[in-house]
Structure 1
């Protein structure tokens, strides 16, 4: 079974973690184990809007196959 990296965002909702996949890679990096966390930050003063960045690999495992991800999401009522 082949496992490829997945970009995902997560948030705490009623004391339960919710994880949402935003992009699946179709390749895995070679050599070192993977699992990079790039960035996640609030995007408004009340803390309900967030932005996250990361990447997936599409079509190969080298740098030219990196596909950047930018995700904006909201949490809360």
Structure 2
């Protein structure tokens, strides 16, 4: 599993390509790209699907990769 948080200087498109091609493309089963600027999270799965989660009032689930793990996105708000 990989978790990446977008910084102020990161280009979103470049990070999305990295998540898809580098991480998932090389066998990572679950990857989260968290855009703290826009409060949007992208969940990349090994089957090629991408789920978009809007808002930081949600909890991201570790699914079958990290059962029982959850990340409360509200904790990331500054």
Do Structure 1 and Structure 2 share a fold, with TM-score over 0.5? Answer: no
Query: In which range does the TM-score fall when normalised by the shorter chain?
Result: under 0.3
Higher relative contact order (CA 8 A, sep 6+): 1
* TM-score, length basis structure 1: 0.27
Indicate the structure with greater strand content.
1
The structure whose residues are more often helix, as a share, is 2
